[in-house]
Structure 1
């Protein structure tokens, strides 16, 4: 793949949301049980989260959602448009997410990768991420009205 040399990485704007959601579907990171618009709105509702976009050629070509809880940083929705994969945008948007977290004093970044997604696991390992050996448990609760 040709290297991408002109990405502009910035926080998402309202007008970017449809393109970001389309990218998540094209890159295979969207799941039917998560509403992308709700996830974006939740990330943007305060100073503890953001959605970053990498724009190249006037189009959204990569994204990363970052958030922090005062102790750890988390990264979600890392996606690169299929036609841009292998050109360095994934690495660039991850570096931007890590920098966003570091500016908030976060020293530990975590992310979740589906167990069967070996290409993603290898990508993150090349960036220095390691399997913690922890088990992630989840419970869905209804938000307060």
Structure 2
């Protein structure tokens, strides 16, 4: 990382760059509208998207939210050419700080069960697999 780096909260004008980063990182799925996810997070009173820039270029993001019971992390992404430089750890530290400032007692995230690389990353940060099953239903 160089000295022209900064972490900040995304605003509405960042939508295209953030969604593009999520797509480049393989975080989007056809059944989830990433632009709508971005808007809900940026417009929400209990959520945010944190961004990391180098030389004015967006290279990493993380979405955070506080549901009133626990904190959640989504869309942690680092552009492929910026990986293995500590940016993922930096973004998780920023997410934890954001949630801690809001009094969240616990942090949760969901990882697809076949994403061994992501699971290994979170385990290296001290996160543990939880003995729960996620159950859901689409509302659209």
User: Normalization by structure 2: what TM-score?
Assistant: 0.95
The residue aligned with 1:81 is: 79
Does the 8 Å contact 1:66/1:101 carry over to 2?
yes
Paired residue secondary structure (1:119):
helix
TM-score, L = length of structure 1 = 0.92
Aligned mates of 2:38, 2:13 — CA distance in 1: 12
Q: Which of 99, 102, 109 is residue 101 of structure 1 equivalent to?
A: 99
Kept in 1: contact 2:53–2:59 (CA 8 A): yes
Specify the alignment match of 1:68 in structure 2.
66
- Assess if the C-alpha contact under 8 Å between 1:16 and 1:60 holds in 2: no
**Where do 4+ consecutive residues of structure 1 move more than 2 Å?**
none
Matches of 1:5 and 1:106, distance apart in 2: 32
Q: Is 2:28 the partner of 1:30?
A: yes
Give CA-to-partner distance per residue, 1:25-58, whole Å, 9 cap, x none: 1111111111111001111223200011111121
RMSD: 1.1
Q: Provide the C-alpha distance between the structure 2 equivalents of 1:37 and 1:24, rounded to a whole number of angstroms.
A: 10
Deviation of 1:136 (Å): 0.5
